[in-house]
Amino acid sequence: MKNRRTILKAGLLAGGGLLFAGGNYYRQQQNARKAAGQWALFLDYSDLARATGRSLLKQTPEWQSLSVVSMLEQFLQRLQIKATSLQAMSNDELLAFLQARVRMDFIEESVVFSDGWLLSKTEAQLCVLASLSDGLDPEKT
Amino acid sequence: MFVDARQLDSGQVIDADLCIIGAGAAGITIAREYIGSSIRVALIESGGMAYDETTQSLYEGENIGLPSFDLNVNRLRYFGGTTNHWAGHCRPLDPIDFESRQWTPHSGWPINRSDLDPFYVRAQPIVGLGPYQYDDLGYWQDEIGSPALALDENRLNTVVYNQSPPTRFGPVYEKELQDAENVTVYLNANVLEIESNQDATQVTGLKLACIEGPPLSVSAQVYILATGGMENARILLLSNKTNPAGLGNNRDMVGRFFMDHLLLRPGAEISLSDPQTDYSLYSALHRVHDSQMFAILASPEGLLRREKLNNFRLHLLRRPPRYSQPLGRVFSRIDGLKEEAKQLDANPLRQKNRDVASLHLVLEPTPNPDSRIQLSSRKDLFDQQKIEVNWQTLDRDLHNARRALELAALEFGRLGLGRAYADIFGGAQRWPNNLEAGRHHCGTTRMSENEQTGVVDKNCKVHQLSNLFVAGSSVFPTIGYANPTLTIVALALRLADHTRAMLTRSSA
């Protein structure tokens, strides 16, 4: 069995690749779902994370209309990571980006409310990505 | 000495230099200050030495505003007053609490915190506390060893609270008063009316009654009304022979501006990212030498000015959560928790009970003239009108509560400690169902520069009367977030000094 870190990196590469690889729509979506699932590995309690993501999607009209590809793009933009740089980054570096952005969200009050919870926008997007990856189990890819 | 007023002769006049009405924290404090002096003090108490249901029923009244509390339960009508069941939490008001704040209507005391500072120091041992060390967290932390949260002090700071044993003023100070030659405590004596001269500018006496005893009266030079935040207003309103609006009430200010701390317990709950988070400095009571303390999260002065908020505090406690899923644990990795430290429980419902910090909000209300105590048409056993309490809040109070909890949520998120859940988040237009009153009745005889804006002056003298003073939290024009007892005692000490000087001058 591949370890979690190896899987995570592989998935992120796929996610980065899809943004400039072109290809048919179905394949792009599949890759994006896979990448979303990999990013979701930075979360624990995956069922709860996905449920939170679904709830956030329901209450956020501007996200509802986005494809998983666009959502992933927005997320990477939020992290200020270029898709092409993903290959060169370690998981620890990616996590550090995520941590820094979430912390900055709480400083800047870039937050959302979901079912009584106050969440940073970045982690809210991450939960949404987790929910969009629903049906894919990264451990089995 | 103690006298049971029921044993006195019918029509007897109690003669004294100073008459204090009410033997609670304020009344007992003032009486003690006179022990050993040449001034004769009569301390008039409605109850006896212990709880009595019939006497207690004199406190019955109605809530006609926000759902509050049973008026007959949270006040106690016997020697020692409500200190017979107070919780003992103590802290002075903040300097900003005394200011006229442009963003808080009707705020501003005619005195400053510095006027009260020496009296706070004197009040400290009276309520059974150790050194007056509220500003030096390090003094306590050096002994306790628990860490403080690394808060952004533009948003929240860690503040020291003291815990009284809590001192029950009745039993603790009974012997001193018993032994005092110049102080007489009259038990079971109820003030029905404060009588005044024709133009209601000077008190001439008190009309007393006993439940099973004779009618009595009091004659003194100076009178201090110290019967609590509600009853002070009631007695003034009932004393309406010469002024139909009630004594000191030419401007319809008596009973208005009724305030109580706004409590949400909990206001928010933090689902912690790390079950090992140590917040015991806040959640536990710490004994340091002869004192007890705990820490709270409080609003920095700069924040209040910047965001135009009322003052607030947050208690951080370990309580079972109300949320159903521990969302904070979803973000443990982002919050920096290492894999080996995670100790995840496969069952989130079981996990949630371990990983919660409950935030209890105590918020300063905005003074509001429509929040008031009035006389009702119902009568007590002396055929005196009972009170009705119309407790009201303003929209800005709800905004303040929400903002206070958001700030805490932002800080816990920024520190990577967890995520906050609150009923009030997300633009709620109404108070959550768990809104409570702090049972700190304040404001009904507020202190002010003049009679247009309040009932008593900076020395707690009723504006319109020359020899009637009011003690207790009814004189607070604003109430900050601190529990009122320490301030009640500090103000009582100040009033004792003032009236002593006045009585000494008049005897000379």
- DSSP output for A19-65: HHH---HHHHHHHHHHHHHHHGGGSSSHHHHHHHHHHHHHH-HHHHT
pLDDT on residue B316: 97
Tell me which chain A residues have a C-beta less than 8 angstroms from the C-beta of B411: 106
pLDDT on residue A82: 80
Residue B131 buriedness (CB in 10 A; 0-12 / 13-18 / 19+)? middle
pLDDT of residue A3 exceeding 50, the answer is no
Cis peptide before B166, with omega less than 30 degrees from 0? yes
For residue B17, what are its two tokens?
């230099």
The confidence band for A9, taking pLDDT boundaries of 50, 70 and 90, is low
Tell me which chain B residues have a C-beta less than 8 angstroms from the C-beta of A43: 330-331, 333-334
Q: Do the beta carbons of residue B75 and residue B24 sit within 8 Å?
A: no
Q: What is the share, in percent, of chain A residues with pLDDT greater than 70?
A: 78
Q: Do the beta carbons of residue B51 and residue B72 sit within 8 Å?
A: no
> Chain B within 8 Å of A124 (Cβ-Cβ)?
no
Among B330, B334, B411, beta carbon nearest to A48: B330
Q: Do the beta carbons of residue B238 and residue B408 sit within 8 Å?
A: no
pLDDT on residue B418: 95
The tens digit of pLDDT for each residue in A115-127 reads 999 999 999 999 9
The tens digit of pLDDT for each residue in B319-375 reads 888 888 889 989 999 999 876 556 555 566 666 666 899 999 999 999 999 999 999
ipTM value, please give it. Answer: 0.92
pLDDT on residue B350: 61
Between A25-39 and A121-132, two packed helices, what is the crossing angle to 10 degrees?
A: 120
- Contact across the interface for B330 and A116, Cβ inside 8 Å: no
pLDDT on residue B323: 86
Between B395-414 and A91-108, two packed helices, what is the crossing angle to 10 degrees?
A: 160
Q: Do the beta carbons of residue A103 and residue A29 sit within 8 Å?
A: no
- Contact across the interface for A95 and B334, Cβ inside 8 Å: yes
* B21: nearest Cα among B238, B233, B190, B219: B190
Mean pLDDT of A56-79: 91
- Contact across the interface for A127 and B330, Cβ inside 8 Å: yes
The tens digit of pLDDT for each residue in B152-187 reads 999 999 999 999 999 999 999 999 999 999 999 999
pLDDT on residue A140: 41
pLDDT of residue A8 exceeding 70, the answer is no
pLDDT of residue A1 exceeding 50, the answer is no
User: Which pTM was predicted?
Assistant: 0.94
> Chain B within 8 Å of A100 (Cβ-Cβ)?
no
pLDDT on residue A2: 43
Tell me which chain B residues have a C-beta less than 8 angstroms from the C-beta of A116: 323, 421-423, 425-426
pLDDT tens, per residue, chain B with 508 residues = 999 999 999 999 999 999 999 999 999 999 999 999 999 999 999 999 999 999 999 999 999 999 777 888 889 999 999 999 999 999 999 999 999 999 999 999 999 999 999 999 999 999 999 999 999 999 999 999 999 999 999 999 999 999 999 999 999 999 999 999 999 999 999 999 999 999 999 999 999 999 999 999 999 999 999 999 999 999 999 999 999 999 999 999 999 999 999 999 999 999 998 888 899 999 999 999 889 999 999 999 999 999 999 999 999 998 888 888 889 989 999 999 876 556 555 566 666 666 899 999 999 999 999 999 999 999 999 999 999 999 999 999 999 999 999 999 999 999 999 999 999 998 888 999 999 999 999 999 999 999 999 999 999 999 999 999 999 999 999 999 999 999 999 999 999 999 999 999 887 7
Q: What angle do CA B478, B442, B364 make, to 5 degrees?
A: 45
Interface of A with B in 22-41 (CB under 8 A): none
The β-bridge relationship of strands B262-272 and B418-421 is antiparallel
